[in-house]
A and B are shown apart, each in its own frame.
Chain A
């Protein structure tokens, strides 16, 4: 029986007095789970991911990551939790003045790790995402699919327990979507928990995963 990685207990979140986003939601996510988050635009998919990634604190209720209540962690120590979470953005967010290699190595660099200790891992990871030919290229020279694969490599490099992806296939074509999903699937087989927020029905149909549907300020879970 897998351990619980993430746990939401009676989470309530509002942006303003007139705008509730979540009203008393509770959820348990186990290690090695694969979830899709669906919902209409503005339903709160990104807010949900922000709550899970500790970028946002709920108005009330608690979010527990590996048993640690994120509300109790001081703001200046929250980076320790963020290091255990990989994040993939719709717009890739690769730094344009860094090469693909440097972008992928960035999470390790911010942890002040020595390059000689991770150089081999970065090169291996770039081979895994089929970007070995772009190691020293700047992001502007890469296609959308290549940029997203570089972003996935960056999310994976620090071997996080959890990968959160916000519309990862929103800016790429169908073929690249399939490649990206297969990368997530491979990561999941290795034991990483994956949570993907998406609108893409074709993506959901390709992967056996549970679905969290956000609607009416609450969530509805469809188990796989």
Chain B
């Protein structure tokens, strides 16, 4: 009973503290239901891009790959690029949909801001900022998870390579390609931030101009 009371008291104290000294809030509420789902979906897509790109970088670093015919190399390059491009299109589409939802969800806030003298650019910047934040956190989470996966998988792949020498070169992460992973780790969140910002900016600008 003491433990339960302690927990209750602690949560009550937290609630009182939150009421007395809350953290500064963002004007456009970021606790909307859709932002959580957006974060999860974009993290997963970012994870997928990291795995795909890393495996692509590893593959092109292998001598067997350069030994393939030009046609084979071109086909695999196009397939990879197309796949990654499609994933970015999906992210862009999700952000456009999310921006629509956000504007509908925050319409009272936006109406009030405009009544209080906010310029269209102010409203646009607040909404784009919230999506850029989602892009940044989801991009970092996904690519970090991808990096961890590659690092953890590596010893197992090395183990397998000892058993199956023929395929080892194709799948094992070599020391040279490890550096490429770090570039990917930095580049993917940047690309995702760019896609999120541009998609939300274009959408919100069009909607604010149309309705406000």
Q: Do A and B bind each other?
A: yes
CB within 8 Å of B: which of A126-151? 136-138, 141
Question: What's the nearest-Cβ distance from chain B to residue A190, in Å?
Answer: 20
Report how far A99 CA is from B118 CA in the complex, Å. 19
Supposing A82-B115, A93-B112 touch, asked if A137 and B120 sit within 8 A by C-beta, the answer is no
Q: For the complex, is B25 an interface residue (Cβ under 8 Å from A)?
A: yes
Q: For the complex, is A112 an interface residue (Cβ under 8 Å from B)?
A: yes
Q: How many residues of B contact A (CB 8 A)?
A: 21
Chain A residues within 8 Å of B22, by CB: 99, 136, 138
Binds B, one of A15-23, A101-109, A172-180, A212-220: A101-109
Supposing A136-B21, A136-B22, A137-B19 touch, asked if A95 and B27 sit within 8 A by C-beta, the answer is yes
Contact A102 B24 (CB under 8 A): yes
Q: For the complex, is A36 an interface residue (Cβ under 8 Å from B)?
A: no
CB within 8 Å of A: which of B8-27? 19-22, 24-25, 27
- In the complex, the chain B residue whose C-beta lies closest to that of A86 is B116
Q: For the complex, is B66 an interface residue (Cβ under 8 Å from A)?
A: no
Q: Which of A97, A107, A112 contacts B116 (CB 8 A)?
A: A107
Report how far A141 CA is from B18 CA in the complex, Å. 12
- In the complex, the chain A residue whose C-beta lies closest to that of B19 is A137
Report how far A136 CA is from B23 CA in the complex, Å. 10
Contact B118 A79 (CB under 8 A): yes
Contact B114 A82 (CB under 8 A): yes
Chain A residues within 8 Å of B25, by CB: 97-99, 102
Report how far A110 CA is from B110 CA in the complex, Å. 11
User: Closest 10 interchain pairs by CB?
Assistant: A83-B117, A110-B118, A82-B117, A107-B116, A79-B119, A97-B29, A79-B117, A98-B25, A97-B25, A93-B112
A-B contacts, 13 listed (Cβ < 8 Å):
A53-B115, A79-B117, A87-B115, A87-B116, A95-B27, A97-B31, A98-B27, A106-B116, A107-B117, A110-B122, A111-B117, A136-B21, A158-B117
